[in-house]
Structure 1
Amino acid sequence: MDLREPNRAVLRLHEKLVSTVSTADLERPTPCAEWDLGALLRHLVSENHAFAEAATHGKATDWEGGRLGDDPHRALADSIAAVTSAFDGDGMLDREIAVRDFGTFPGTVVVGMHLVDSVVHGWDLARALGQPYEPDAGAVDAALRFMEGVPDDPDGRGPDGPFDKVVPMPQDAPPLHRLLGLTGRSPDWAAGPR
């Protein structure tokens, strides 16, 4: 299944969510305990540019270099344009691509990795901003299927891993909640009073 269009749809939600963010909002807490909104946005900008470089050249030289400048929305929008353009490149889905120090994967898997990041961090953005979040059901289902294939390895989870420890969810929980649980998030997270 080609996950590029579901990924684009979720990234459009990111742009919409961040369209009114000002530098005054950057200290808002997020469900990512170690990141405020500014750090989360820098992470997204960094990842989008790095995935774009990796999709184009087979690997990225910098996974942490994202900058927001004085216009967080523009920085995010530019990074989204870069990654969606790179993912649409000829032969990208069949190319072998290095992702961080996780290994080298076919382009189809790399898009799946980015989709999981996009769906989950979209929820993080919405929660931090107190906005509703309703990503495309197909995108959520695809991201959930992808995460169900990721081992629940204690050595790869926690502060030094790409995901936190799994938060158990009932099997009949909504797909987005099950996805959040697999990435170590509680769907009940709220920012609390400011």
Structure 2
Amino acid sequence: MARRAAWGAPGAEEGTSGATGLPARTVGSMVPRDLTVHAWDLARATGQPYEPEAALVGVLVAEFGALAPTARRMGMSGEPVAEGAAPFDVLLALTGRGPGWTPQR
């Protein structure tokens, strides 16, 4: 609970965070990104539908899309998807996932 309150404090998303030197906003966005993408992993692997909140996906795509060129050079991001792809497909690709992936049956 204290961490959630800390991220809600005025100015929490300003500056950089720790030794990584990443913007604090980026670090704060990592948890919802991971939860959103791992929920897709689980849903896809078990054949369940999953549709994350569009507003959240938009924020995450903007946040991590800006870092994508650097992340790709570092081997930490996947290749971009086709122009006009759905925002969630863009986010999945940013995390190295194939939006069309399905488990082998």
TM-score of Structure 1 vs Structure 2, range by shorter chain: 0.7 to 0.9
Cα distance change on mapping 1:116 and 1:170 into 2, 3 Å: same
Aligned to 1:165: 78
Q: Tell me, what secondary structure is at the counterpart of 1:169?
A: coil
Q: Does 1:128 align with 2:41?
A: no
In structure 2, C-alpha distance between the alignment counterparts of 1:88 and 1:123, rounded to whole Å: 27
Q: Tell me, what secondary structure is at the counterpart of 2:63?
A: helix
Aligned to 2:26: 109
- Amino acid in structure 1 at the alignment position of 2:92: L
Cα distance change on mapping 1:91 and 1:140 into 2, 3 Å: same
Contact 2:26 2:64 in 1 (8 A): no
Mark the structure with the bigger radius of gyration. Answer: 1
- Amino acid in structure 1 at the alignment position of 2:87: P
Higher relative contact order (CA 8 A, sep 6+): 1
Contact 2:77 2:93 in 1 (8 A): no
Q: Does 1:181 align with 2:93?
A: yes
| Structure 2: gaps spanning 5 or more residues | none
After TM superposition, give the deviation of residue 87 of structure 1 in Å: 2.0
In structure 2, C-alpha distance between the alignment counterparts of 1:121 and 1:88, rounded to whole Å: 24
The two structures, once aligned, show a CA RMSD in angstroms of 2.5
Alignment: residue pair count: 101
- Amino acid in structure 1 at the alignment position of 2:95: T
| Structure 1: gaps spanning 5 or more residues | 1-81, 158-162
After TM superposition, give the deviation of residue 105 of structure 1 in Å: 3.9
Cα distance change on mapping 1:103 and 1:183 into 2, 3 Å: same
Contact 1:116 1:146 in 2 (8 A): no
TM-score normalised by the chain length of structure 2: 0.75
In structure 2, C-alpha distance between the alignment counterparts of 1:178 and 1:151, rounded to whole Å: 11
Contact 1:169 1:178 in 2 (8 A): yes
In structure 2, C-alpha distance between the alignment counterparts of 1:109 and 1:165, rounded to whole Å: 18
After TM superposition, give the deviation of residue 152 of structure 1 in Å: 2.0
